[in-house]
Copies of this chain bind each other. A is one copy, B any other.
Amino acid sequence: MIDKRVASAAEAVADIGDGATVMIGGFGEAGSPIELIHALIDQGATDLTVINNNTGNGQVGLAALIAAGRVRRMICSFPRGTSETAFPDLYRRSRIELELVPQGTLAERIRAGGAGIPAFFTATSAGTPLAAGKEHRVFDEREYVMERCLTADFALVKAERGDRLGNLVYNKAARNFGPIMCMAAATAIVQVSETVEAGALDPEHIVTPGIFVKRVLQVETPQLESALIAQGATYP
């Protein structure tokens, strides 16, 4: 019987190695898989390339992973967070690399990675410094930029409910990058608030089919960045 459920966050992230590329879901705190990120901090992997829209908030979650010096390179669209200083400090000291990608191009590159599309063209960023050095091409009299796909060794994602097969549904705008990151990562690791029996999720309502998911961890009452920041929490 297929059973993708794992017993602990430590087990879920145990094989993330130094130098791995890790997609991390979430937009702001919505969808941020804090428990998995904290397990990754505990686990010790370093020299990571991290793909996330931002760079975390406060001194927990992704911001804490960055502050701990584990991230060599960030691929993101908006490297600023709430009460977050780890990234800008390291960036100004050239201790972390940044690949700045327009948000929609970031999403589409991830989706392309999951869909087996090595490259595509978009008008986004044409004529701007972010297109410098990229191949340009005119289709129907408009200029487009060629963008390569993004894939990852691992994705850390937060969803609402999941089953042993890895089928997922999300919670409101916390869906954001989760579905496409599950597609684009060789090993998608998902924390859910609730695990349910296979068949309990309506086939019409499943957002991420289990084929894209390798591990499911139940975290019944996930922490929220805003609450942690309000408490002045730091990790570890």
Contact = CB atoms under 8 A, between A and B. Distances in A.
Interface of A: 108, 112, 115-123, 137, 139-140, 142, 144, 148, 169-170, 172, 202-205, 207
Contact of A205 (B112, B116, B117, B205): B205
A120 B123 contact: no
Contacts of A121: 117-120
**Chain A binding surface SS class:** mixed
B115 A108 contact: yes
Nearest to A144: B118
A205 B118 CA distance: 30
B120 A112 contact: yes
A139 B119 contact: yes
Contacts of A170: 204
Contact of A123 (B108, B112, B116, B205): B116
19 contacts: A112-B120, A116-B122, A116-B123, A117-B120, A117-B122, A118-B121, A118-B139, A118-B140, A118-B144, A119-B120, A119-B121, A119-B137, A119-B139, A119-B144, A120-B121, A139-B148, A170-B204, A172-B203, A204-B207
Copies of this protein in the assembly total: 2
Contacts of A207: 204
Contacts of A205: 202, 204-205
Nearest to A202: B205
A120 B122 CA distance: 10
A137 B148 CA distance: 13
Contacts of A123: 116
A84 B201 CA distance: 38
A121 B170 CA distance: 30
Contacts of A112: 120
Contacts of A203: 172
A216 B158 CA distance: 35
A117 B146 CA distance: 10
Nearest to A205: B205
A114 to B, nearest CB: 12
Contacts of A144: 118-119
Nearest to A117: B120
A110 to B, nearest CB: 13
A117 to B, nearest CB: 5
